[in-house]
Amino acid sequence: MDIEAEIRALQLDSAEDNNGVVNPEDAKLEKVEKGDEVEVEGMKDEVHGRSQPGQAEPKVKNKEVVALEDAEAQEEMETNKKRHLNVVFIGHVDAGKSTTGGQILFLSGQVDDRTIQKYEKEAKDKSRESWYMAYVMDTNEEERVKGKTVEVGRAHFETETTRFTILDAPGHKSYVPNMISGASQADIGVLVISARKGEFETGYERGGQTREHVQLAKTLGVAKLLVVVNKMDDPTVNWSKERYDEIESKMTPFLKSSGYNVKKDVQFLPISGLLGSNMKTRVDKSICSWWNGPCLFEALDCIEVPLRDPKGPFRMPILDKFKDMGTVVMGKVESGSVCEGDSLLVMPNKAQVKVVAVYCDENKVRCAGPGENLRVRLSGIEEEDILSGFVLSSVVKPIPAVTEFTAQLQILELLENAIFTAGYKAVLHVHSVVEECEIVELLQQIDPKTRKPMKKKVLFVKNGAVVVCRVQVNNSICVEKFSDFPQLGRFTLRTEGKTIAVGKVTDLPVA
């Protein structure tokens, strides 16, 4: 270090002696001596995005670097040509969501045989042989011991045309809030139903999670649904067409009533998650002679995905944050694109931040578009100043932050003896926000048949009603009008562990 410092001092002196003109020989020398230094400078320049004055050499280098980087960015965009979809696995507890997710990862080569053998042994030791595939998705000990998913598991796999992110939602009713945060990031849902005798019935009847999950998925913006009838290999089912048809005939009217267009947006198919039948390749005719439809991978590949605007104002609801060489936030981009070096706002705090790095799945990228699940490293904000539910948004068009808004609600089912009226309190779930809210005023009731507001003044409403009301929250939250940004304008109201209403934001107060 001392020698370097001395050389530098000498160089500076010689530069001053020549009235600030550096000798060509000196410059050469300087270049040799300062090999490392130029690199450091180059790096600094990349960070600052501009080369410092009085350094002709690195300036040229920087232009080349920028040109190279642009080319790389272009290339990166090309490699990311595969469309990206978030798939959430929903359904009643023990329908086989994690097992199906694990099997998908195994079949698409994300998990090797040795790991599977290890899980098989581990499951055998716990005398739970059939759970070994679920261990791929359920990674923590508590989930493995109980055999219940608690947190939303994440994993990635690819088919010929599409990159998928699996979100494995918990089916147990105590963990519905976790399931909501999982489904709010999803584009398509895979509803897993157990064909085993008695299991479909418990999941489907009142109080079963199959119903609640479907209603939540619809309100959270999961537009397309694959209904996967699992456990077809079970001895009580044995790939029986009668059982499959019975489940399809019971589910269809319910899916219709939840708002799905069954012909366009829903597809049924039989699988066995444990054996992997009809998942990557079509099921063998010797096992199931009556099925002529696609297998799970084909069905996932064929799903049309909603178009998003990469040039729209940037919006990324923050799901999670942690410290890692700075503040890192996680979330799914709902609109717009983000690049390294961008300046953004963290709303509702209006904190100005700079994007230091962008990671998509596990890889560092320069830019990322809508629909991607990202981790973004920010400078200019502390990790403790961010809460999940905050939104990373563009500076030019920031997302509105409000404490009150007008919404259209559909009441699903209230708790017994509860009346839905002004003063009603519930928990509001909107994208990744969870806030307590109060209904301040019922404005008008909508006639479900004509979809027009009714004339008479409304004081309270019952189950099944559609009502326009004003909702107030304690802390300011980020929402958009449903008509502008469906993903950031739809919400659910829950109380005491039950979903009581779903709604959309129709109007925001003028700022």
pLDDT tens digit string along 441-454?
A: 999 888 877 878 88
pLDDT on residue 469: 92
Question: Mapping DSSP to helix (H, G, I), strand (E, B) and coil, where does residue 104 land?
Answer: helix
Q: Are residues 318 and 225 in the same domain?
A: no
Establish if 510 belongs to a structural domain.
no
Counting the structural domains of the chain, the total is 3
pLDDT on residue 470: 92
Establish if 70 belongs to a structural domain.
no
- pLDDT over threshold 60, residue 294: yes
Q: Are residues 428 and 343 in the same domain?
A: no
For residue 169, how many C-alpha atoms fall within 13 Å in the half-sphere facing its CB?
34
- Kindly report the number of other CB atoms within 10 A of residue 242's CB atom: 8
- Sign for the CA dihedral angle at 474, 475, 476, 480 comes to negative
Mean pLDDT of 283-292: 87
Question: By residue range, what is the domain housing residue 108?
Answer: 81-300
Q: Are residues 167 and 199 in the same domain?
A: yes
- pLDDT over threshold 70, residue 206: no
- pLDDT over threshold 50, residue 95: yes
Give the burial string for 52-75 (b: 16+ CB within 10 Å, else e). eeeeeebeebbeebeeeeeeeeee
Q: Are residues 284 and 368 in the same domain?
A: no
CATH label of the domain that carries residue 486: 2.40.30.10
Q: Are residues 384 and 405 in the same domain?
A: no
Establish if 306 belongs to a structural domain.
no
Q: Are residues 352 and 407 in the same domain?
A: no
Asked whether 353 and 342 are in contact (CB, 8 A), the reply is no
pLDDT band at 9 (very low <50, low <70, confident <90, very high): low
Nearest CA to 95 out of 26, 172, 3 is that of 172
pLDDT band at 144 (very low <50, low <70, confident <90, very high): low
Q: At which of 300, 326, 351 does a domain end? A: 300
- Cα angle for residues 50, 56, 57 (degrees, 5° grid): 95
pLDDT band at 405 (very low <50, low <70, confident <90, very high): very high
Q: At which of 340, 360, 392 does a domain end? A: 392
Cis peptide bond N-terminal to 348, omega within 30: yes
User: How does DSSP assign 126-189, residue by residue?
Assistant: TT-GGGTTGGGT--SHHHHHHT---S-EEEEEE-SSEEEEEEE---SGGGHHHHHHHHTT-SEE
Asked which of 60-74, 196-210, 273-287, 416-430 is least confident by mean pLDDT, the reply is 60-74
Q: How far are the Cα atoms of 15, 45, 63, 447, 508 from residue 60, in angstroms, in the given order?
A: 21, 12, 5, 69, 51
Q: Are residues 182 and 238 in the same domain?
A: yes
Pull the structure tokens for residue 223. Answer: 């537009």
- Alpha-carbon distance 334 to 331, whole Å? 9
- Sign for the CA dihedral angle at 498, 410, 347, 47 comes to positive
Asked whether 331 and 374 are in contact (CB, 8 A), the reply is yes
- pLDDT over threshold 90, residue 19: no
Mean pLDDT of 102-130: 80
CATH label of the domain that carries residue 132: 3.40.50.300
233: left (phi over 0), alpha (psi -120 to 50) or beta: alpha
Q: Are residues 238 and 320 in the same domain?
A: no
Mean pLDDT of 44-67: 42
